[in-house]
Amino acid sequence: MLRTRLLWFTLGFGCATAAMGNFVFRDLWFHRQNLSSTLNQKFEALDSRVSKLEHLNPQFSNSTQSRSKRNFGYRFYLERNLKLCFTA
């Protein structure tokens, strides 16, 4: 009888733990996806504003082309690390 109670307690405790873990995992997944989409939207908005500014002033655009080639490594590094953070 003691073994039966221990078995049922273990099964109930395991099921309750699995259900709570599932809810926590869903909540964390939702927040992660929300943060990722928010960051993507902000980067796209920033990129569109910069391209509009470059389009308005061609002299600025020519001077920033060499700078953008220099900073491409940093931008790639930043985007790659953000993707790694949100895909891990």
Concatenated DSSP letters of 10-38: HHHHHHHHHHHHHHHHHHHHHHHHHHHHH
Residue 70 has pLDDT above 80, yes or no: no
Count of domains in the chain? 1
Assess contact for 32 and 83: CB atoms under 8 A. Answer: no
Provide the domain limits for residue 27: 2-87
| pLDDT band for position 76 (cuts 50, 70, 90) | low
The counts of H helices and E strands in the chain are 2, 0
Mean pLDDT of 10-32: 93
pTM over 0.85: no
